[in-house]
Structure 1
Amino acid sequence: MNIIKTGILGLAAVICAMTVKEQKPQFAALVSLAAGILISYNAVFRLKTISQLFENLTEYTAIRSSWFLILMKIVGISYVSEFSSGICKDAGYHAIAGQIEVFGKVAILTVSTPVILALFQTVSEFLA
């Protein structure tokens, strides 16, 4: 049921932004931003449920909990960079949107470095 509310909110925001864009284009970007913030706020509560699931998984498996924290950081970085990039594209600033996307990818690579190092270490132990 929550996805229906989110879809309706998104469609209402698009219709409102399209209507406002003809007369005041700067307000269309603000409508888009407000709708995005509301939808993202709703998604944060879903991430809390997933975080609790990861905590339960660490109790039953030998996987370190720090890896799940890294995974949550990667998801957060990707959401924030995608959201920010989309807002910039809607406002017509495609160059800035591209830079945000590049920074998001670099940030994900930086955060995931411990996992990549552990993977290489495991492979090297397996091959040795």
Structure 2
Amino acid sequence: MDMIQIVGISLIATVLIVIVREQKPAFAFLLAAFTGLFIFLFVIGKIEAVITVLEDLAARSGIPSVYLKTVLKIIGIAYIAEFGAQIVRDAGQESIASKIEFAGKVFILVMAIPIISVIVETVIGLLPAGS
């Protein structure tokens, strides 16, 4: 049912944007941005439920919480970068949108370094001595 509401609001906003765009392009952009923000805020609650389940699974499996938190931060960075880039792209600024995506990728790489380090150390530990 939630998806039907999101699609319904999106379709109404799209029709309004198409109608308003010729007369007031700035207002059309604001309407698109606020619609996107509304959808983002609407799904945040769903994301919170997923995070709770993942934290519970990690706790039961013995995975250190720092790894789960890092992965969740990486996912958050990816979503926020994509959302921001799409809003900027809607405003017609493709080059800035590309820079937002690039910055998101750099932040993801920085956040992933501790996990990559553990993986490399684990692989090195599995190799026979003298190799």
Q: Shorter-normalised TM-score: what interval? A: over 0.9
Q: Bigger radius of gyration, 1 or 2?
A: 2
- For residue 46 of structure 1, report the CA deviation from its aligned partner: 1.0
- The residue aligned with 1:32 is 32
Instruction: Look up the match of 2:79.
Output: 79
| 1:55 equivalent in structure 2 | 55
Over aligned residues, Cα RMSD in angstroms?
Answer: 1.1
Q: Which residue matches 1:105?
A: 105
Q: Distance in 2 between matches of 1:70 and 1:31?
A: 34
Distance 2:108 2:7 in 1: 28
Give a deviation string over 1:45-74, Cα, whole Å, max 9, x none.
Answer: 111101111221122102111111111111
> SS of the counterpart of 2:23?
coil
Tell me which residue corresponds to 1:23: 23
Deviation at 1:93, TM superposition (A): 0.6
For structure 2, the residue ranges without an aligned partner over 5 or more in a row are none
Sequence identity percentage: 34
- The count of aligned residue pairs is 128
**What is the aligned partner in structure 2 of residue 11 from structure 1?**
11
2:91 maps to 91
Instruction: Give, in whole Å, the separation in 2 of the partners of 1:10 and 1:125.
Output: 52
Distance 2:59 2:79 in 1: 27
What is the deviation of 1:124?
Answer: 1.1
TM-score (norm 2): 0.92
Q: Which runs of 5+ in 1 are unaligned?
A: none
- Tell me how far apart the structure 2 counterparts of residues 68 and 34 of structure 1 sit (CA, whole Å): 31
1:65 aligned onto 2:48: no
- Residues in 2 aligned to 1:40 and 1:69: alpha-carbon distance in whole angstroms: 21
| TM-score, with length taken from structure 1 | 0.94
Which 4+ stretches in 1 moved above 3 angstroms? none
Q: How far did residue 3 of structure 1 move?
A: 1.0
